[in-house]
Amino acid sequence: MKKLTKIKDLQMMADVIREDTIAALTEAKSGHSGGPLGMADIFTALYFNILKHNPKKPCWEGRDRLVLSNGHICPILYSTMANAGYFPKEELFTLRKLGTRLQGHPHREALPGLETTSGPLGSGLSQASGMAYGLRLDKKKNIVFCLCSDGEQNEGNHWEAVLFAAKNKLSNLIAITDRNYIQIDGNTEEIMPLDPLDQKYKAFNWNVEVIDGHDFRQILHVLKKARNNKGKPLMIIANTIPGKGVEYMENDYRWHGSPPGTVTTERTPPKDEQTDVALEEIHAHEAEERGDWYLEHLRLRPIHTMKRKQK
């Protein structure tokens, strides 16, 4: 797999991944939009620049481990993995269908490349801590990346893992919080306040970094530095915009668990226009910012341009 080192290439790949995510969710007619679109840039940076991994050999021992604790955002994991070459992009159209490898929440035994089965929130950091502890006992250099959401930090289990990782000085554990300030039915600070989150992790004896989760310069800088993290586990708090890229979804918690075309809000265009509008908005915005990016992008064959398999 080709590593992407230029910011512009990473941005274009993130757009392709966003579009594929929208196409898959639209076909599935169910699933989560907000979290996945908000995390597209971080997933792109991880799979196309940071992670040591081999899509053709998903079980390669030297791989870094990526644990997705907030399993409901798996559409973005699947789209990223498909673009990285783990499985054919056409398979994204099977999202949430009966018998698919792309379950609505990740099923480790179904799809090579998944490290854990997830969905019940709050348990991923415990699993990742156990992996990091085990790898260290085996004197292995692999890094464990654990992606968590902010809403799931309402779970006590998450904080047990925070204590365990700090006690054991798991410097090979790099957690990333999707700090999008939404959870299933509202703003996190109204439902169960988390701020000041950075100070909480510092008090729990973690290293802490706070970044803009859509700024590739910041994302790459912090994640590259994380490989040499020392003495304590590291929490990267990534400020993100849920629904990023689709204007009418951005920062609106009602898109937490809804695919395009299923929710009507005061910002939503008419139902029959939603998918096209979503893609057009991304195209128009990106075309404006990056000139001829769309020609490049078409060469990457987003799934919505592919012929769908006969049902």
Ligand X SMILES: Cc1ncc(C[n+]2csc(CCOP(=O)(O)OP(=O)(O)O)c2C)c(N)n1
Where along the sequence are the contacts to ligand X (CB under 6 A)?
A: 34-35, 70, 72-73, 119-122, 149-152, 180, 182-184, 242, 256
User: Is omega for the bond preceding 233 within 30 degrees of 0, making it cis?
Assistant: no
Residue number, 35 or 302, with CB nearest to ligand X: 35
Q: How many residues are given for the chain?
A: 311
Q: How far is the CB of 191 from ligand X (least distance, A)?
A: 9
Q: Would you count residue 151 as binding Mg ion (CB under 5 A)?
A: yes
Residue 272 neighbours by CB distance under 10 Å: 9
Q: How far is the CB of 37 from ligand X (least distance, A)?
A: 10
Cα–Cα distance, 198 to 206 (Å, whole number):
9
Residue number, 259 or 302, with CB nearest to Mg ion: 259
Q: How far is the CB of 193 from ligand X (least distance, A)?
A: 13
Residue of 187, 182, 139 lying closest to 34 (CA atoms): 182
Residue number, 242 or 302, with CB nearest to ligand X: 242
Residue number, 180 or 274, with CB nearest to ligand X: 180
Q: Would you count residue 34 as binding Mg ion (CB under 5 A)?
A: no
Q: Which two tokens stand for residue 176?
A: 């990333």
3-class state of residue 59 by DSSP: coil
Residue from 149, 153, 177, 258 that binds Mg ion (CB under 5 A)?
149
Q: Would you count residue 213 as binding Mg ion (CB under 5 A)?
A: no
Stretch near Mg ion under the rule CB under 5 A, chosen from 117-125, 144-152, 168-176, 228-236: 144-152
Stretch near Mg ion under the rule CB under 5 A, chosen from 112-120, 147-155, 213-221, 267-275: 147-155
Q: Which residue is at the shortest CB distance from ligand X?
A: 151
Alpha helices, DSSP H, located in the chain: 7-28, 34-38, 40-45, 74-84, 124-137, 156-167, 188-191, 197-203, 216-226, 274-290, 293-299
Residue 137 identity: L
Residue of 188, 177, 226, 182 lying closest to 42 (CA atoms): 177
Residue number, 122 or 259, with CB nearest to ligand X: 122
Q: How far is the CB of 121 from ligand X (least distance, A)?
A: 4
User: Is omega for the bond preceding 196 within 30 degrees of 0, making it cis?
Assistant: yes
- C-beta separation of 22 from 248 below 8 A: no
Stretch near Mg ion under the rule CB under 5 A, chosen from 1-9, 75-83, 141-149, 279-287: 141-149
Residue 216 identity: F
Quick one: what does residue 124 bind among ligand X, Mg ion, none, with the CB cut-off 5 to 8 Å set by partner type? none
What residues from 170 to 209 belong to the interface with Mg ion (CB under 5 A)? Answer: 180, 182
Q: How far is the CB of 36 from ligand X (least distance, A)?
A: 8
Residue number, 72 or 297, with CB nearest to ligand X: 72
For 66-123, give the DSSP string: EEESSGGGHHHHHHHHHHHTSS-GGGGGGTT-TT-SS-SS--TTTSTT------STT-
Residue number, 14 or 194, with CB nearest to ligand X: 194
Summarize as ranges the residues that interact with Mg ion (CB under 5 A): 149-151, 180, 182
